[in-house]
Amino acid sequence: MDAQVKKTVLRKIPHGLFVVGVRHDGRVNAFTATWVTQASFTPPRVVLGVRKDSGSFEMIKASRVFTVNVLGKDQRALAERFVKPARVAGDKLEGVPSRPGRTGAPILEDAIGHFECEVREIANEDGDHAVVIGEVVDAGLREDAAALTLADTGWHYGG
């Protein structure tokens, strides 16, 4: 297989750009995510891809909750703020208006919408990213606007 062709073709899969909030043991964090999709209507479930070597993944495994904050087309800078790991960037939520949701995971006040999830399954033991299946237990909409996508930013992830 041609590795460059594989990468180019896999990057053609459209992705949204989200900020995922996590909490555990009094700590909160958030990270930019692109691998999010709906998996079930009843019960309402989503799939989230998370790097297994991240501190946020450890928090999700321990707390079994997360939020997905949906960003608007004009919120690239907000997404960019959450790209670097907390061990590099420090407290990424400092100065960002946020509040704990029903699950305790952070909701960004400026996001156009959000949903909160409780973890039902974690899979992909041999991959570099875990597949986290979460059941949506709450949701909110601040503004019914177009969502930010990876293509809107010119960034690339995956392949």
CATH number at residue 62: 2.30.110.10
Residue 105 · residue 65 · CB < 8 Å: yes
Is the residue at 119 inside a domain?
yes
Q: What is the pLDDT of residue 10?
A: 87
Is the residue at 63 inside a domain?
yes
Joined tokens for residue 26 = 């009094």
Is the residue at 76 inside a domain?
yes
Q: Digits of tens for pLDDT over the chain (159 positions)?
A: 999 999 889 888 889 999 999 999 999 999 999 999 999 999 999 999 999 999 999 999 999 999 999 999 999 999 999 988 766 667 889 999 999 999 999 999 999 999 999 999 999 989 999 999 999 999 999 999 999 999 999 887 776
Is the residue at 2 inside a domain?
no
Is the residue at 158 inside a domain?
no
Q: What is the pLDDT of residue 156?
A: 78
> Could you count the other beta carbons within 10 Å of the beta carbon of residue 151?
14
Residue 151 · residue 132 · CB < 8 Å: no
Q: What is the pLDDT of residue 143?
A: 96
For residue 141, give its domain range: 18-153
First to last CA, the chain: 13
Is the residue at 7 inside a domain?
no
Q: What is the pLDDT of residue 37?
A: 96
Domain total of the chain:
1
Is the residue at 97 inside a domain?
yes
Distance CA 143, CA 3 (A): 41
Q: What is the pLDDT of residue 87?
A: 67
Residue 110 · residue 132 · CB < 8 Å: no
